[in-house]
Chains A and B, each alone.
Chain A
Amino acid sequence: MLENIRLSLKGIWSHKMRSFLTMLGIIIGIAAIIAIVSTIKGTNEQIKNNLIGSGTNTVTVQLYQDSWPADFSYQDVPEGLPPLTPEVREQILALDEVESVTFVNRRDYSGNIFYGDTSIDASIYGIDSDYFQTSGLQVTKGRGFSQSDLTTGKAFAIIDESFTGTFGNENPVGKTLDIMGTPFIIIGVVSQKSKFEPVINSIEDYYMYMQNTAGGIYIPKQMWPVIFKYDEPEYVIVKAKSTDDMTQAGKKTQELLTKRMSGASDVYKYQANDLSDEAAQIQQLSSSTNTMLIGIASISLLVGGIGVMNIMLVSVTERTREIGLKKALGARKRRILGQFLTEAAMLSMIGGAIGVILGIGLSRVISVLAGVPVAISTPAILISVIFSMLIGIIFGLVPSIKASNLNPIEALRYE
């Protein structure tokens, strides 16, 4: 075997140009597949990372009116909408997939928030004591809400780090915000525990990450009715125990909440905005396009295999005398077969290896030019090299059998 490998490397090396041209089909095919697989993997990992990094495995279950998010600022809280009581909290916490839960009031783009004369465009959240922990936020300046702040409903606010720019170089803690006419004292600043910067390549990415990245201003839940004149939370946020549990945690919470509403109203329902679901859809979309590309690259591999077969047939003809001599000296059929199969396998395996290196380079270039993240997959590399070796063996079979069946005298007589 070792001798066969040595001989085949010698043969390949002695016809450098020819060997390289033969390998080219396989090099191109493998390089294309590696580049495509790396891009798919990179994109998928990015989507998943952003989910884990951003939402810290949180699923938002939101109250909908018909197909629109319920908005109680323009209407009364409907009769018969069952309130979210501490018992409901306990029921949700009892679900296997749920780690923590929080009820939230939220208003996006409310306007009418000022620091002095500067208008601030932010979402306002009315939160309870579980919110920061569930959403993966941490206090970086000042302090969080104390239990008494929350229960007595102090006019305190905590702002997201993204708004600190409004205060220039000054410490925002201690400053006063005017929220819809009511003054709130800023007591702290929060930021995401795990930093992440999503790469936005498409409108889908934007929608997906928007709700995770939009900064907020947080006030105690008890203060919500003071400003907005209602207190029923529209949002239930659950934190799943792991990323894989997100879908189940969201679904079960949604079912639990919807069940309580039965008979209350036909137009209201709770719905989980499961990000992992959206992510899966995006992943599906990108991988189905790429499956097609892999199909096309495989055609190049097929063409490469035919090239290997062609050159091996030439090689067998050229080395007819050598084969005849080896048979005369006592080489059995099996050995001649092995020698040519090894050569075909080495030829395409070296092509595959060059293809892998080229493919890695290509994915780097794609990543820089197109701004798409890439992740090199080790299994893909191993599979490519083994697969290209198999191509060599399959397409080398016909020429090798031809060589092993040569009649020694005719082969020795061959000019």
Chain B
Amino acid sequence: MIVELNKINKSYDEGKQLVPVLFDIDLQVKEGEYLAIMGPSGSGKSTLMNIIGCLDVPTSGSYLLNGEEICGRSDSSLSVIRNKTIGFVFQNFNLLPRESALENVALPMLYAGVHKKERLERAKEALTQVGLEDRMYFKPTALSSGQKQRVAIARAMVLKPALLLADEPTGALDTASGEQVMDIFQKLNEQGVTIIMITHEPEIAAHAHRQMMIRDGRFV
């Protein structure tokens, strides 16, 4: 089991009162699974994603990632876990605008302590795999949305994490680019990468092997 959530609760402190967002969430994801989580906005799917991604900590409950308890770890140790185990793909790409595609992809390896020469080699390789070998030295502003998302996927996968988390990966893309992204996800999953994807588009969710629906902080 790569992800194991037991009775996860999350509430936000909105000044005067606690606003509950997630109620007793249980979730198990096996290695190599391809899961889509669907739900309307405000359903708590992004909060759930943040918790799975170790960007946020639950108010109560337990979260085992690769069998290791995540709750109660320090900020620093969560950084290391994110770096080694999880790849992120965001709706709005989140590329650094002043850096080239190559440097963007090389960034996570900087935090992993990989040498510069190797960083660049591996970044080139990752960009080649998403079909952007001729766009390596372009700044994000010179790339189309679809190309940007492919750079982001290359960045997420460059350290070969076991788990890929995608938050509305096609939300800002046209249909053709969206399909390209889905093809890449398909290949990655075939190579054994576990994928958890958030989307509200049923056609996109259909690419996953398992679909779950979340509403008002509970799976339905």
What is A's interface to B at a CB cutoff of 8 Å? 3, 10-11, 14, 321-322, 325-335, 408-409, 412
In the complex, A409 Cα to B96 Cα: how many Å?
17
Contact of B75 among A11, A14, A333 (CB under 8 A): A333
| Nearest CB in chain A to that of B119: its residue | A3
**Do A10 and B111 form a contact, CB below 8 Å, given A327-B79, A330-B79, A330-B84?**
no
B55 touches A409 (CB 8 A): yes
The smallest C-beta distance from B113 to any residue of chain A, in angstroms, reads 10
Contact of B111 among A11, A332, A409 (CB under 8 A): A332
A328 touches B82 (CB 8 A): yes
Q: Does B53 contact A (CB under 8 A)?
A: yes
Q: Does B76 contact A (CB under 8 A)?
A: yes
**Do A325 and B94 form a contact, CB below 8 Å, given A330-B84, A332-B80, A333-B75?**
yes
In the complex, A26 Cα to B78 Cα: how many Å?
39
In the complex, A332 Cα to B82 Cα: how many Å?
10
B55 touches A408 (CB 8 A): yes
Contact of A328 among B75, B80, B88, B96 (CB under 8 A): B88
Contact of B80 among A3, A11, A14, A330 (CB under 8 A): A330
A335 touches B98 (CB 8 A): no
Q: For residue B96, which residues in chain A have a CB less than 8 angstroms away from its CB? A: 322, 325
Q: For residue B80, which residues in chain A have a CB less than 8 angstroms away from its CB? A: 330, 332
| Nearest CB in chain A to that of B49: its residue | A409
Q: Does B108 contact A (CB under 8 A)?
A: yes
In the complex, A28 Cα to B29 Cα: how many Å?
62
| Nearest CB in chain B to that of A325: its residue | B94
B76 touches A332 (CB 8 A): yes
Q: Does B142 contact A (CB under 8 A)?
A: no
Interface centre among A326, A330, A334 (most CB of B within 10 A): A330
In the complex, A14 Cα to B98 Cα: how many Å?
9
Chain B contact residues, majority secondary structure: helix
| Nearest CB in chain A to that of B159: its residue | A330
B84 touches A329 (CB 8 A): no
Q: Does B56 contact A (CB under 8 A)?
A: yes
In the complex, A283 Cα to B182 Cα: how many Å?
80
B107 touches A329 (CB 8 A): yes
Q: For residue B79, which residues in chain A have a CB less than 8 angstroms away from its CB? A: 327, 330-333
Contact of A412 among B75, B90, B108, B111 (CB under 8 A): B90
Q: For residue A10, which residues in chain B have a CB less than 8 angstroms away from its CB? A: 98
A328 touches B55 (CB 8 A): yes
In the complex, A352 Cα to B6 Cα: how many Å?
57
Contact of B88 among A11, A322, A329, A333 (CB under 8 A): A329
A329 touches B50 (CB 8 A): no
In the complex, A317 Cα to B155 Cα: how many Å?
24
Q: Does B19 contact A (CB under 8 A)?
A: no
A329 touches B111 (CB 8 A): yes
Which residues 62-89 of B have a CB within 8 angstroms of A? 75-76, 79-80, 82-84, 88
B108 touches A321 (CB 8 A): no
A326 touches B107 (CB 8 A): yes
Q: Does B112 contact A (CB under 8 A)?
A: yes
In the complex, A331 Cα to B110 Cα: how many Å?
9
- Can you list 29 A-B contacts with CB-CB less than 8 angstroms, sorted by A residue number? A3-B110, A10-B98, A14-B98, A326-B107, A327-B55, A327-B82, A328-B53, A328-B55, A328-B82, A328-B94, A329-B88, A329-B107, A329-B111, A330-B79, A330-B80, A330-B82, A330-B83, A330-B108, A330-B111, A331-B79, A331-B111, A332-B76, A332-B79, A332-B80, A333-B75, A333-B79, A334-B76, A335-B111, A412-B55
In the complex, A298 Cα to B84 Cα: how many Å?
48
| Nearest CB in chain B to that of A321: its residue | B94
Interface centre among B79, B80, B155 (most CB of A within 10 A): B79
The smallest C-beta distance from A401 to any residue of chain B, in angstroms, reads 13
Q: For residue B75, which residues in chain A have a CB less than 8 angstroms away from its CB? A: 332-333
| Nearest CB in chain A to that of B81: its residue | A330
Q: For residue B111, which residues in chain A have a CB less than 8 angstroms away from its CB? A: 326, 329-332, 335
In the complex, A409 Cα to B52 Cα: how many Å?
12
Beyond contacts A325-B94, A332-B111: 14 other A-B pairs, Cβ-Cβ < 8 A, are: A321-B94, A326-B107, A327-B55, A327-B79, A328-B88, A328-B94, A329-B83, A329-B108, A330-B79, A330-B80, A331-B79, A409-B50, A409-B55, A412-B90
Which residues 100-126 of B have a CB within 8 angstroms of A? 107-108, 110-112
Q: For residue B98, which residues in chain A have a CB less than 8 angstroms away from its CB? A: 10-11, 14
| Nearest CB in chain A to that of B56: its residue | A409
The smallest C-beta distance from A141 to any residue of chain B, in angstroms, reads 74
In the complex, A328 Cα to B54 Cα: how many Å?
9
Q: For residue B88, which residues in chain A have a CB less than 8 angstroms away from its CB? A: 328-329
Q: For residue B56, which residues in chain A have a CB less than 8 angstroms away from its CB? A: 409
In the complex, A329 Cα to B80 Cα: how many Å?
9
In the complex, A330 Cα to B112 Cα: how many Å?
8
In the complex, A325 Cα to B93 Cα: how many Å?
10
Q: For residue B55, which residues in chain A have a CB less than 8 angstroms away from its CB? A: 327-328, 408-409, 412
A412 touches B76 (CB 8 A): no
Q: For residue A335, which residues in chain B have a CB less than 8 angstroms away from its CB? A: 111
In the complex, A335 Cα to B75 Cα: how many Å?
12
Return the 8 tightest CB-CB contacts between A and B, nearest first: A330-B83, A330-B111, A332-B79, A329-B108, A325-B94, A408-B55, A332-B76, A409-B55
| Nearest CB in chain B to that of A322: its residue | B96
In the complex, A328 Cα to B88 Cα: how many Å?
8
The smallest C-beta distance from B206 to any residue of chain A, in angstroms, reads 27
The smallest C-beta distance from B119 to any residue of chain A, in angstroms, reads 10
The smallest C-beta distance from B161 to any residue of chain A, in angstroms, reads 10
A333 touches B76 (CB 8 A): yes
Q: For residue B53, which residues in chain A have a CB less than 8 angstroms away from its CB? A: 328
The smallest C-beta distance from A345 to any residue of chain B, in angstroms, reads 20
| Nearest CB in chain A to that of B53: its residue | A328
